[in-house]
Structure 1
């Protein structure tokens, strides 16, 4: 929600040359934006909390822990069951950095009453990138510190390079190969970069180093539930490999930490728990998005992954500036990249950075799922002018 508001704010501020006067006078009302976010979340929560009752399902609210293989305790009372589905989500990680208590997590940032003028983000994965871009576009001076050699390690290299250009344009400072050694009480961040000691002065420090599963707080060992990196170790039916009466979904299963994955896995886990192991999870085609500004959408193999598998592949690339819709709307930052098998024309992966990437990547996902060849997609008629047309045009290259 913050991203959508800030994205609109960013576009509006640079709309002066489109004939919209006074754009440079616009300002962002941070408290109003946070208040609107709270109202929307409260509305969603109210609807979600009412669902069990509407379906005639009793709902208990409290913290559950296993008392045995078939028994849980909720606020001092024991309840037994034949089958269990664990869908307890995750929580922001707090790394073992001296002074980490002086920093905030993504959950806490979403409740800040004032926009920080300066922000240091520790972590260069999708959480750090999303919040870093949002705050930078909103006018905060953002410095992102990444422990690895590159941000977004799962990104295709061409998309990452384009993202770095966008970060520079947004005024972000990105440092890699960073070891954060301490966070002072005044939030000064001390770090080592390539053997040099540096200090970063800031108003807030955001910890964006991952989200571990909440399963461990349930005492899963009492039910003989094996964990893998803190999540339930499951098979293709989302069934615990060590406690076959237990199923898990979403972050509790730990395979892919995305909200749509939880929505996809939840019904499968429940169905298998009630009806037997019939439905398998299928992530053979797995589109995902990172809501930076501009956004990133990706599905399938990166160029690097295809090469590691020994595939003889080729790529097609088309900058957003060649997309008429992007030109009309003055959103020409971006790139579409297709990875395909040379001999068969099979689409191996599609990667997009640019406006509406999170939407247009789904065209590519359907094409891959349907087994369409690159040339077949490139020969299709499409609605013009649209951002989605960038996929078809790149397939035709």
Structure 2
């Protein structure tokens, strides 16, 4: 047996890397993890956690207005962006400390340096030190894609948006995925004039068409402008802001351009190709069902593999890797029926097949819907309708998809996703007594 400095060396201390490192150490492995920025990764430092805090902050704009209909004498309230920003960044600092503490308690050595792969069992740190490891795990995540148009350096990405010095009066958001629609809702609620542009005429590709169309309708009603079939031609500084040119539309002047046009795996400069690790055409590490790359000693989990770019998936991949390689309990991640959510205003959530996917796979489907106004919205005089949708296999009655948009949709769907994962039937929902009065009861009342 060769002697190595570590049993496992993890490059990247995000959600997947931290889970893999901690569980591997619990199984008795000697583990080190290198992180060039901050422990916690995209989700904790510059992604879903701080973004969700912005979503909470933004929703007070509607809640304060609605409170008046419920008898509360709420005065006109101002919004302090810097106060929210600083409180949010303080919470990120706290979580960063907790992640460091968790790794330390698990016996994992944390190395705050960039690391590159220089051999099948060798890693070189930015300071020049070389270390050896029986197994190397790549968990470097991904970074925001930026269009290559002239003036692209004048825009920002979701990495920088949490550090803005002031709230922009006019915002242009490029993209139509979940990041674009979430920040469109956030800035709109904060009072910014939001324009969202997209190269096609479809938002949130991959989500159920009826649900995403409902979000588009509500977003437009709330004042968000959408420019479809628009490609960037350039950004230039002008007096008082930025001028953005695009195909098919007139130029627009804004104060901020936010790129939300997808994410690219972080593999550039890691030395992977030089040691024989296969990458796909997007730069992602190609792995098998056990997270192993084309080199037996090198594995990868999380967004760097570009399979399913979701934090809970990266965590499960890290767990499966650790249990399989070091725990003697081999298992693989099941990618079927993964629930997902868009924290827009209002939020969307879904699990399983969309209606079109089900029709393509099953040929025929049964679709049940509930289109209603939440009780709170009725009294608040807010004309915003929720939509729940259930898709069933007509032969077996099994629920193959659940999709919804409305208040607290992600919170409701998490429990309902268990039913879809378990293969329950429509009759199982019908036989469940409703919790009244709730929005969630619509799931068991659809006919």
The interval holding the TM-score normalised by the smaller chain is over 0.9
Please list, as runs of the form range in 1=range in 2, the aligned pairs for 1:249-288 lying within 5 A after superposition.
249-275=301-327, 278-288=330-340
CA displacement, residues 74-118 of structure 1 (integer Å, 9 cap, x when unaligned): 121111111111111221111211110000111111110211010
Matching of residue 15 in structure 1 with residue 67 in structure 2: yes
Aligned to 2:247: 192
Matching of residue 237 in structure 1 with residue 287 in structure 2: no
Q: Distance in 2 between matches of 1:247 and 1:343?
A: 41
Question: Which of 147, 154, 157 is matched with 1:95 structurally?
Answer: 147
State the secondary structure of the residue aligned to 1:72.
Answer: strand
Deviation of the 1:380 alpha carbon: 0.1
Structure 1 window deviating more from structure 2 (381-390 vs 217-226): it is 381-390
Q: Distance in 1 between matches of 2:117 and 2:213?
A: 47
Deviation of the 1:235 alpha carbon: 1.3
Matching of residue 133 in structure 1 with residue 185 in structure 2: yes
Q: Distance in 1 between matches of 2:180 and 2:375?
A: 32
Deviation of the 1:292 alpha carbon: 0.4
Aligned to 2:174: 122
Q: Distance in 2 between matches of 1:393 and 1:217?
A: 54
Structure 1 gap ranges (5+): none
Question: Which of 416, 428, 434 is matched with 1:376 structurally?
Answer: 428
State the secondary structure of the residue aligned to 1:107.
Answer: coil
Question: Which of 82, 90, 93 is matched with 1:31 structurally?
Answer: 82
Deviation of the 1:223 alpha carbon: 2.7
Q: Distance in 2 between matches of 1:325 and 1:282?
A: 38
Structure 2 gap ranges (5+): 1-52
State the secondary structure of the residue aligned to 1:385.
Answer: coil
Please list, as runs of the form range in 1=range in 2, the aligned pairs for 1:1-397 lying within 5 A after superposition.
1-23=53-75, 25-75=76-126, 76-186=128-238, 187-193=242-248, 197-228=249-280, 229-240=282-293, 242-275=294-327, 278-321=330-373, 324=375, 327=378, 333-394=385-446, 397=447
Structure 1 window deviating more from structure 2 (376-385 vs 292-301): it is 376-385
Q: Distance in 2 between matches of 1:147 and 1:181?
A: 12
Structure 1 window deviating more from structure 2 (165-174 vs 216-225): it is 216-225
Deviation of the 1:330 alpha carbon: 6.9
Q: Distance in 2 between matches of 1:225 and 1:320?
A: 52
Q: Distance in 1 between matches of 2:445 and 2:379?
A: 17
Structure 1 window deviating more from structure 2 (283-292 vs 312-321): it is 312-321
CA displacement, residues 149-194 of structure 1 (integer Å, 9 cap, x when unaligned): 211111211111110111112210011111111111232110012x
CA pair 384-325 structure 1, distance change in 2 beyond 3 A: farther
State the secondary structure of the residue aligned to 1:188.
Answer: strand
> Normalising by structure 2, what TM-score?
0.83
Deviation of the 1:277 alpha carbon: 7.9
Structure 1 window deviating more from structure 2 (252-261 vs 72-81): it is 252-261
State the secondary structure of the residue aligned to 1:345.
Answer: coil
Q: Distance in 2 between matches of 1:104 and 1:146?
A: 16
CA displacement, residues 213-255 of structure 1 (integer Å, 9 cap, x when unaligned): 1122312113311112222111111121x11222211112211
Contact 1:85 1:273 (C-alpha < 8 Å) held by counterparts: no
Deviation of the 1:291 alpha carbon: 0.7
Deviation of the 1:324 alpha carbon: 4.7
Structure 1 window deviating more from structure 2 (243-252 vs 126-135): it is 243-252
State the secondary structure of the residue aligned to 1:178.
Answer: coil
Deviation of the 1:65 alpha carbon: 0.6
Q: Distance in 1 between matches of 2:134 and 2:327?
A: 13
CA pair 279-11 structure 1, distance change in 2 beyond 3 A: same
Contact 1:346 1:372 (C-alpha < 8 Å) held by counterparts: yes
Contact 2:370 2:387 (C-alpha < 8 Å) held by counterparts: yes
Q: Distance in 1 between matches of 2:61 and 2:145?
A: 30
CA displacement, residues 266-298 of structure 1 (integer Å, 9 cap, x when unaligned): 111222232468211101120000110111100
